[in-house]
Structure 1
Amino acid sequence: MDLLNPANAFAAIAEYLRAGGPVVVAILVSTFLMWVLIVERLIYFATTERALAREKRETWAAREDHASWFAHAIRERLISEQRLANQQYLGVIKVLILVTPLLGLLGTVTGMIEVFQVITSTGASNARLMASGISKATIPTMTGLAVSLSGIFFINVLERRGTRTVAGLADSLDIHVAPDTAASGDTA
């Protein structure tokens, strides 16, 4: 209950950042950026995506020609535009998901270097100084992995939603076969 008090929560976060070292700050910055992009995509899928797909369907329905090569090219363009809109920022989110565990590994290495420096300067007898380096080695790793796991879940949700919408749009944009093409296919 003490952490619900903003002053205590701020102190706990400051202690966490101090114990984890400067790499945790880099992980938290990348986490913030990743979550801003994930929330933006969630808002897009909740609001704009359906309207955009409806607009593409209306554009296709307003065309009289659904059989020519040009009509097929326009259909593919409409589907590609929807796919691109759905995949916006997903690449950046994936990169941030991949970077956070690597930053955690960097924190592990820097923390272990600090432990080795304590051992070489004071010997293995000063457990208190070694504990600081060990926390700087484990906290960034844990933070990077936790952030990455949460991002993996949401990137899968976002990609599945985008793929489903594009497939639904492609199915709804019906194609008519030109009569002369169908007749030549019957005689052959």
Structure 2
Amino acid sequence: MLFLIELWESVRGFIATGGNVLYVVAFALLLMWILMIERYWFLASVYPTMRDDIIARWDARRDTTSWYAHRIRETWISEADELLEQRMITIRTLVAMCPLIGLLGTVTGMIGVFEVMAEQGTGNPRLMAAGISQATIPTMAGMVAALSGVFFSSRLDAKVKLAKAKLVDSLPHH
């Protein structure tokens, strides 16, 4: 329990150093990871059953060569693709937004530095250093959040494309 309290205090200290924009970065990161975990769960547990059902329905058809059969096949593939691609654009958007949110923190931090310089002058480097630190931490946090999302979302994207390709290959058309 003491470890969790110390961890929470260090996170609060980090956010106090970087400013309130870090809450927005944290929210975007949390939402991105919730969506990615949901997509991994979908690919691992829900999609295989759905895929097997589509394949079984296709194999049970007598007619797999007519124009109508091919339209039915395309419809099933399209429905599966839509479910596979669900939330992927949101994940990609959140990955792209994290550095921009960090940049917003940099701009607000630099505005704070300029306010200190306007009020106190340039004679107090300690106050300026605190503002510059507050300006750079959100950028770093946004970049780290984006990097964690880039790797896993690209892996997830590859898994989605592979799942669709395997489904297409599993429904032979003659």
TM band (smaller chain): over 0.9
Partner of 1:182: none
The offset of 1:46, in angstroms, is: 1.4
Residues 100-122 of structure 1 deviation map (CA, whole Å, 9 limit, x = unaligned): 10000111111111111111111
User: Residues 6-155 of structure 1 correspond to what in structure 2 (within 5 A)?
Assistant: 6-155=4-153
Deviation at 1:137, TM superposition (A): 0.7
Q: Secondary structure, in 3 states, of the residue corresponding to 1:152?
A: helix
The whole-number CA distance in structure 1 between the counterparts of 2:67 and 2:116 is 73
The 2-side partners of 1:56 and 1:148 are apart by 36
2:170 aligns to what? 172
Question: Aligned equivalents of 1:93 and 1:165: distance in 2?
Answer: 18
Distance, in Å, in 2 between the alignment partners of 1:173 and 1:46 is 20
Query: Which deviations, in whole Å up to 9, do the C-alpha atoms of 1:18-49 show, x marking residues without a partner?
Result: 11101111110111111100111111111112
Residue of structure 2 equivalent to 1:156? 154
Count residues with an aligned counterpart.
Answer: 174
- The unaligned stretches of length 5 or more in structure 2 are none
The TM-score normalised by the length of structure 1 is 0.89
Partners of 2:95 and 2:4 in 1: how far apart?
Answer: 29
Q: How much has 1:131 moved relative to structure 2?
A: 2.0
Q: Stretches of 4+ moved more than 2 A in 1?
A: none
Letter in 2 for 1:57: I
Q: Secondary structure at the match of 1:9?
A: helix
Q: Give the TM-score of the pair, scaled to structure 2.
A: 0.96
Q: Residue 64 of structure 2 aligns to a residue in which SS? A: coil
**Matched residues in 1 for 2:4 and 2:153: separation?**
31
Distance in 2 (alpha carbons) for counterparts of 1:152 and 1:49: 23
Q: Distance in 1 between matches of 2:70 and 2:168?
A: 11
CA RMSD of aligned residues (A): 1.3
SS at structure 2 position matched to 1:174:
coil
- Corresponding letter in the other structure for 1:52: M
Aligned amino acid, residue 22 of structure 2: V
